[in-house]
Amino acid sequence: MTDALRSWLEGAAADRERAGLTRRLGARASGADTVDLAGNDYLGLLRHPAVVSGAVSAAREWGGGAGASRLVTGTLALHQTLERELAAWCGRPAALVTSTGYAANLAAVTALADADTLVVSDAHVHASLVDGARLARGAVEVVPHRDVAAVAEALSRRTQPRALVLVESVWSVLGDASPLAELLEVCECHDATLLVDEAHGLGTAGEAGRGLAAVLRPPDATRLVVTVTLSKALGSQGGAVLGDPLVLEHLVNTARPFIFDTGLAPAAAGAALAALRVLAAEPERVERLRGAAHRLASTVGVQSPAGGVLAVRMASAHEATRTQALMATHGVRVGCFRPPSVPDGISRLRLTASAGLRDEQLDIACEVLRRALGTTAAESGEPVDPALGGGGADPDGTRVALVPTYGTGAAPDPSGEPAP
Ligand SMILES: Cc1ncc(COP(=O)(O)O)c(C=O)c1O
């Protein structure tokens, strides 16, 4: 038995190595002065004194953990304060805090979809939504990325009484935005529920960083369900589902990833609450993030993103890791996405802007990017329409286009690993 497992593991490791797909954990040193274009600390709040002291005082008051699942004794007054303030900030009627953003998506999808529900999923949704759809065990239809007509078509053909449409507001890898108003209209038209994952929209997009869904006001609030993570712009850990109280009550009673999971740790809740208050009090952070994103985008020749994420398409997985490693030697960390973490098989560098980047760090980042990508054009400020692709190939062919275009043919199964 052990031999069978060992030979399978060794074979799989050798396959990954040959394809340039081996992942390795690299620890970062505390206080290391690398320029981070790989993390999700969009607003530079991770080490903000108010956020750190929010964590410390919550741990002092409530202890190291919530002590139990939320339905037993693990609901703290602190969770409820966070829920109220999150819901108000995001323009939704109510919120339910979960232990991670991953759990928020699993809880929402599994509670809202069953065998009588068609799940219509954009081909690029995060692994947590994919896994939720799989656990829900109903029919799933994967539609091409940002294709509202394909969503409408799938909904109009459905035989199930209910339908749930899964999208992200700001997409975690490409950084583009979903046409949420159109999607909501289609959902109204076909009596479907729209689930919007704001993991990369909260704190980065929409008015004052409220996310892109904050302005949506469906006549019936059960039409729209929003999920967020507390681990990105809010610099903490945890997640939440936001929506109509009737929806959240259903989750509390039926969502296994919520019911059978210990409540969010007090320190994480305290940090997230403090971060939310800093976000509200310091809107200039969102402006600074946008300025940094614009500068990075013009350096690599793509359109300014809706939030803080942008993607650079690479010729191969090897090329992506080689460029990532090269940039790391110059003190700049970028993300690298390769199959199976990408829905379309295309390897990319993923860059994230942050309000926490100092001006001189941004200067270094842009210079290293220009060299590593062979970009000769200086920051032109000329936006390149992502729909057209952009950038072109550099002389040694390492860069083929900066932003991919997607056809409307059958989308690949979005199986994959979580995009950070
Ligand atoms: C789009 C999206 N949704 C959900 C998650 C999960 O959030 P968390 O890391 O807080 O579990 C992530 C983060 O990886 C994400 O990028």
pTM over 0.75: yes
Q: Where are the alpha helices (DSSP H) in 113-163?
A: 127-136, 148-156
Tokens 């980065």 — which residue? 204
362 backbone φψ class: left, alpha, beta (φ>0; ψ -120 to 50): alpha
Cα of 228 from ligand 1 centre, angstroms? 8
* % of the chain with per-residue pLDDT over 70: 88
Nearest in space to 47 (alpha carbons), one of 59, 29, 64, 30? 30
Concatenating the DSSP letter of every residue in 160-214 gives: SSEEEEEEESB-TTT--B--HHHHHHHHHHTT-EEEEE-TTTTTTSSGGG--SST
pLDDT tens-place string over residues 354-384: 999 999 999 999 999 999 998 533 333 333 3
Report the pLDDT averaged over residues 59-72.
98
Centroid of chain to Cα 201: 8
Please indicate whether residue 91, judged by its CB atom, sits closer than 6 Å to ligand 1: no
Residue 391 has pLDDT above 80, yes or no: no
Report the pLDDT averaged over residues 108-137.
96
Centroid of chain to Cα 405: 20
49-280 folds as Aspartate Aminotransferase; domain 2 (3.40.640)
pLDDT of residue 331: 94
Cα of 128 from ligand 1 centre, angstroms? 7
pLDDT of residue 386: 36
Please indicate whether residue 241, judged by its CB atom, sits closer than 6 Å to ligand 1: no
pLDDT tens-place string over residues 17-30: 998 788 888 888 88
Distance separating alpha carbons of residues 382 and 122, to the nearest angstrom: 29
**Where do the structural domains in the chain lie, given as residue ranges?**
49-280
pLDDT of residue 281: 98
Please indicate whether residue 172, judged by its CB atom, sits closer than 6 Å to ligand 1: yes
pLDDT of residue 380: 36
If one compares 399 and 10, the residue with the highest pLDDT of the two is 10
If one compares 402 and 39, the residue with the highest pLDDT of the two is 39
pLDDT range class, residue 400, cuts 50, 70, 90: very low
Give 410's DSSP letter: P
pLDDT tens-place string over residues 186-205: 999 999 999 999 999 999 99
Please indicate whether residue 419, judged by its CB atom, sits closer than 6 Å to ligand 1: yes
pLDDT of residue 109: 98
Please indicate whether residue 109, judged by its CB atom, sits closer than 6 Å to ligand 1: no
Residue 389 has pLDDT above 70, yes or no: no
Omega of the bond leading into 420 within 30 degrees of 0 (cis): no
If one compares 90 and 34, the residue with the highest pLDDT of the two is 90
Please indicate whether residue 39, judged by its CB atom, sits closer than 6 Å to ligand 1: no
Distance separating alpha carbons of residues 30 and 385, to the nearest angstrom: 38
410 backbone φψ class: left, alpha, beta (φ>0; ψ -120 to 50): beta
pLDDT of residue 398: 28
Given a contact cutoff of 8 angstroms between Cβ atoms, the answer to whether 280 and 92 are in contact is: no
Cα of 106 from ligand 1 centre, angstroms? 11
pLDDT range class, residue 10, cuts 50, 70, 90: very high
Cα of 318 from ligand 1 centre, angstroms? 25
Please indicate whether residue 100, judged by its CB atom, sits closer than 6 Å to ligand 1: yes
pLDDT of residue 392: 29
pLDDT tens-place string over residues 143-183: 999 999 999 999 999 999 999 999 999 999 899 999 999 99
Residue 390 has pLDDT above 80, yes or no: no
Report the pLDDT averaged over residues 396-404.
26
pLDDT of residue 262: 98
Paired sense of beta strands 348-352 and 309-313, if any: antiparallel
Concatenating the DSSP letter of every residue in 281-342 gives: H-THHHHHHHHHHHHHHHHHT-PPPSSSEEEEE-S-HHHHHHHHHHHHHTTEEEEEE-TTSS
Distance separating alpha carbons of residues 102 and 418, to the nearest angstrom: 9
User: Which atom of ligand 1 has the smallest separation from the CA of 125?
Assistant: 1
Give 221's DSSP letter: G
